[in-house]
């Protein structure tokens, strides 16, 4: 039985289309309506089906070829009993199925066998030497052109996805479910990496093991998660707090009368609150799944507290609405509760930004880790006296190191520099906070 030509059908216009995918290979058995090639024009992606059943004798197109209506795609050796129709491009050849005139004088025609259904997704025809994820293997997947295009855009290997449509056909929902599953798997892996194999420390000398407290474990997991998920950048700066310290010390007697201790922290909180109002891009959280920024119209600031059990971060609410004395009183209460392990869950939730002050301990700067889903944290180190030029001469000034770490997905470097500059100006002259 002679082979028949299978040509490119009407593409809906005189222009050419590019072959972007081959769905068959020489020697493969085809059924009617099986996908042969996928072409892409400037208007649409078109999946060309087989117009007959049989074995592919030869392929006459390759990926990247430009084809038009009537071009030869492949030569097909028709299945036994298959009637060859006229070729659209050259007037066609006569079918090998001949009409017969028996003694009755009535013509009879051999009828083609019913075309088998397209192969199920789980059992596509393939050669025995294909590699997982190979183009030949993917071409056997039962999927439409829109799904194939989406898979190329997402970088999803079609042969790795299980179809939920009729006869195992792949749907867009299947691709989306596959991508979600891979992302969840990546998150689980990221949550356990990097893993470090420990040596036998006892081989080098005496050792002792002690269990990590639950607070220590929770802090370690939270910091690890934030560090893996947030692209951190740290902006360093200094604030001149010479005048502020003079004012603060002058309030010592008033603080004693109120039974309070006025530290630098309430001033820092007020300056941060002012800056958060001035630069609301720091008072947000990222919703990556919905591609949205969540802007918060309140100012709650977490304050890291060092306790014997580990780091705790109580949250001071509505900082912008409270005066220095109210903040000093609340900070004292929260710090006491933290050290006594008596903080309630709601007293550690709802923060918009975090302050981590190591000024009472030491250091000249550090890179604090963002407390996600917040996008910023200000680290403060110990102040010291430095010579500063005033335009005529050098004079001693008390300088406070600032370290602002931020999530670079939400905040750019220019805004971070503006933020620390504003905080420095506010601490340099607290009267600015009244403006």
Q: Is 320 within 8 Å of 277 (Cβ atoms)?
A: yes
Q: Average the pLDDT over 277-284 and give the result.
A: 97
Query: Judging by beta carbons within 10 Å of its beta carbon (0-12, 13-18, 19+), is residue 83 exposed, middle or buried?
Result: middle
Q: What is the predicted pLDDT for the residue at 1?
A: 61
Q: Quick check: 10 and 26 in contact, CB under 8 A?
A: no
Q: What is the pLDDT of residue 103?
A: 41
| pLDDT of 116 over the 90 cut | no
CA-nearest of 25, 27, 19, 29 to 61 is 19
- The helix or strand, by DSSP H or E, that contains position 417, with its residue range, turns out to be helix 413-428
Comparing 16-20, 136-140, 196-200, 287-291, the range with the smallest average pLDDT is 136-140
For residues 253 and 198, give the distance between their C-alpha atoms in angstroms, rounded to a whole number: 55
Q: Residue 275, Cα to own-chain centre: how many angstroms?
A: 29
3-state class (DSSP) for residue 380: strand
282 SS3 class: helix
Question: Any idea what the Cα angle at residue 283 is, between residues 282 and 288, rounded to 5°?
Answer: 85
CA distance 68 to 39: 10
Q: In the chain, count of helices (H) and strands (E)?
A: 9, 19
Residue 389's CB is within 10 A of a number of other CB atoms, namely 9
pTM: 0.58
Residue 176, pLDDT > 80, answer yes
* Three-state DSSP state, 139: helix
Write out pLDDT tens, residues 178-236: 998 888 777 666 555 667 788 999 999 999 999 988 888 888 888 988 998 999 999 99
CA 16/CA 11 separation, integer angstroms: 8
Catalytic residue among 216, 232, 238, 408: 408
Q: Which helix (DSSP H) or strand (DSSP E) does residue 361 occupy?
A: none
232 neighbors 367 (Cβ within 8 angstroms): yes
Domains of the chain by range and CATH?
4-83+115-187 (2.40.50.100), 214-434 (3.30.559.10)
Residue 431, judged by CB atoms within 10 A of its CB (0-12, 13-18, 19+), counts as exposed
Which tens digits make up the pLDDT trace of 338-379?
998 899 989 999 999 999 999 889 899 999 999 999 999 999
Residue 329 pLDDT grade (very low, low, confident, very high; cuts 50, 70, 90) = very high
Cα distance between residue 145 and residue 152, in whole Å: 11
Q: Which residue has the higher pLDDT, 22 or 255?
A: 255
Are 404 and 378 spatial neighbours (Cβ–Cβ below 8 Å)?
yes
Higher pLDDT: 300 or 310? It is: 300
Q: Is the pLDDT of residue 36 over 70?
A: yes
Question: Are the beta carbons of 355 and 302 closer than 8 angstroms?
Answer: yes
CA dihedral 224, 230, 236, 238 (to 10 degrees): -80
Positive or negative: CA dihedral 426, 431, 434, 435: negative
Choice among 97-106, 273-282, 380-389 with the minimum mean pLDDT: 97-106
**Distance from chain centroid for Cα 337:** 38
DSSP one-letter code for 8: -
Strand partners, 45: 40
Instruction: Please give the residue that has the higher pLDDT: either 18 or 389.
Output: 389
- In the predicted model, is pLDDT for residue 131 greater than 50? no
Other CB atoms within a 10 A radius of the CB of residue 120 amount to 13
Instruction: Give the number of other Cβ atoms within 10 Å of residue 289's Cβ.
Output: 8
Each residue's pLDDT tens digit, 399-415: 999 999 999 999 999 99
C-beta separation of 276 from 296 below 8 A:
no
Q: Mean pLDDT over residues 243-253, rounded?
A: 96
251 to each of 206, 247, 260, 331, 391, how far by Cα in Å? 53, 7, 11, 17, 31
Whether 300 is catalytic: no
Task: Report the alpha-carbon distance of residue 115 to residue 29 in Å, rounded.
Answer: 12
Write the DSSP symbol of residue 91.
Answer: S
Other Cβ atoms within 10 Å of 78 Cβ, number = 22
Q: What does the mean pLDDT of the chain come to?
A: 84
């Amino acid at each position: 039985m002679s082979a028949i030509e299978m040509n490119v059908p009407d593409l809906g216009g005189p222009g050419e289309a590019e072959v972007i995918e081959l769905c068959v290979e020489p020697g493969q058995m085809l059924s009617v309506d099986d996908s042969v090639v996928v072409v892409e024009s400037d208007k649409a992606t078109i999946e060309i089906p087989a117009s007959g059943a049989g074995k592919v004798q030869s392929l006459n197109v390759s990926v990247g070829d430009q084809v038009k209506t009537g071009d030869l795609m492949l030569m097909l050796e028709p299945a036994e009993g298959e009637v060859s129709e006229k070729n659209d491009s050259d007037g066609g050849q006569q079918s090998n199925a001949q009409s017969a005139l028996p003694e009755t004088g009535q013509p009879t025609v051999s009828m083609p066998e019913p075309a088998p259904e397209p192969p199920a997704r789980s059992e596509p025809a393939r050669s025995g030497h294909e590699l997982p994820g190979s183009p030949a293997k993917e071409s056997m997947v039962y999927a439409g052109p829109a799904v194939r295009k989406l898979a190329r855009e997402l970088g999803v290997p079609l042969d790795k996805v299980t179809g939920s449509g009729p006869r195992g056909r792949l749907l867009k929902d299947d691709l989306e479910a596959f991508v979600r599953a891979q992302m969840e798997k990546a998150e689980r892996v990221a949550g356990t990496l990097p893993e470090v194999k420990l040596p036998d420390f006892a081989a080098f000398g005496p050792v002792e093991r002690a269990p990590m407290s639950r607070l220590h474990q929770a802090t370690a997991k939270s910091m690890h998660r934030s560090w893996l998920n947030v692209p951190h950048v740290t902006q360093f700066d200094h604030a001149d707090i010479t005048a502020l310290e003079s004012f603060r010390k002058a309030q010592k007697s008033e603080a004693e009368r109120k039974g309070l201790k006025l530290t630098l922290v309430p001033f820092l909180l007020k300056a941060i609150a002012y800056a958060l109002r001035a630069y609301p891009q720091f008072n947000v959280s990222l919703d990556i799944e919905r591609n949205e920024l969540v802007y918060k119209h309140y100012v709650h600031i977490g304050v890291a507290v060092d306790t014997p059990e580990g780091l705790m971060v109580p949250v001071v609410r509505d900082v912008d609405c409270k005066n220095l004395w109210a903040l000093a009183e609340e900070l004292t209460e929260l710090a006491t509760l933290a050290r006594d392990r008596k903080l309630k869950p709601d007293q550690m939730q709802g923060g918009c930004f975090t302050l981590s002050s190591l000024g009472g301990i030491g250091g000249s700067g550090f890179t604090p880790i963002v407390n996600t889903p917040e996008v910023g944290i200000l680290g403060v180190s110990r102040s010291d006296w430095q010579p500063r030029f005033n335009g005529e001469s050098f004079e001693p000034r008390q300088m406070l190191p600032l370290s602002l770490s931020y999530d670079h997905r939400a905040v750019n470097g220019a805004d971070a520099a503006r933020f620390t500059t504003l905080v420095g100006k506010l601490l340099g002259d607290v009267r600015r906070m009244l403006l």
